[in-house]
């Protein structure tokens, strides 16, 4: 074993180790106490009023949206990707990934003055992204459906299913 330098006690080297251990214990205790008395975390489901501010478009509850639709006071816009098997009757598809192509297809049918009800799969961020692109193209009256098609259906809204959509696209549809 190496001899200690003259004038240094053998236990003097252990003192910095004890001090470091004490400081670590105090820091862990302080961290534990601050965690125990922390303010409550944000809820897992945020208040939709906050979403409205972040999204920049008014949210319309499903029952109100159904009433607007029945009064012919809105044009539904479906933002879901692909070819969904269910949709609101008369809705136009404007997907986030295919927005420019989809808008070209329906541009003759939509006017920037038309009141639009934008809906999707319940992800308000996707619907708001499409709504933002519509706003950039001059559309001014844009609302977001709060929820998804399930909420629409529960509020008494009509749902068009895949077999009806295919029949209409094949020319055998109804009005």
Range of the domain at 122: 48-169
pLDDT tens across 152-173, in order?
A: 999 999 999 876 544 555 544 4
Query: Whole-prediction pTM value?
Result: 0.65
User: Torsion angle of alpha carbons 75, 76, 77, 83, nearest 10°?
Assistant: -130
- Total tally of structural domains belonging to the chain: 2
- What residues are paired with 12 via a beta bridge? none
User: What is the average per-residue pLDDT within 45-61?
Assistant: 71
pLDDT of residue 174: 40
Do the domain assignments include residue 174? no
Domain-embedded: residue 104: yes
Is 80 found in the same domain as 33? no
* Three-state SS at 97: coil
Whole-angstrom distance, CA of residue 140 vs CA of residue 135: 6
Q: Is residue 3 part of a domain?
A: no
User: Is 31 within a domain?
Assistant: yes
Q: Which pLDDT score, from 0 to 100, does residue 84 have?
A: 82
Return the structure tokens found at 116.
């639009």
Residues 94, 14 share a domain: no
Task: For residue range 67-114, list pLDDT tens digits in order.
Answer: 999 999 999 999 998 878 899 999 999 999 999 999 999 888 889 999
């Amino acid at each position: 074993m190496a001899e200690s330098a003259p004038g240094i006690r053998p236990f003097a080297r252990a003192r910095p180790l004890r001090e470091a251990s004490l400081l670590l214990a105090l820091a862990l205790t302080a961290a534990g106490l601050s965690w125990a008395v922390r303010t409550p975390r944000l809820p897992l489901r945020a208040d939709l009023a906050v979403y409205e501010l972040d999204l920049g478009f008014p949210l319309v509850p499903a029952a109100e949206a159904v009433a607007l639709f029945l009064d012919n006071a809105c044009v539904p816009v479906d933002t879901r990707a692909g070819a969904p098997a269910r949709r609101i009757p008369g809705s136009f598809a404007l997907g986030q990934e295919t927005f420019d192509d989809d808008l070209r297809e329906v541009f003759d049918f939509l006017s920037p003055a038309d009141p639009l009800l934008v809906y999707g799969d319940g992800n308000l961020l996707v619907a708001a992204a499409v709504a933002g692109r519509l706003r950039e193209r001059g559309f001014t009256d844009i609302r977001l459906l709060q929820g998804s098609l399930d909420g629409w259906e529960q509020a008494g809204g009509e749902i068009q299913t895949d077999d009806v959509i295919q029949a209409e696209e094949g020319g055998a549809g109804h009005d």
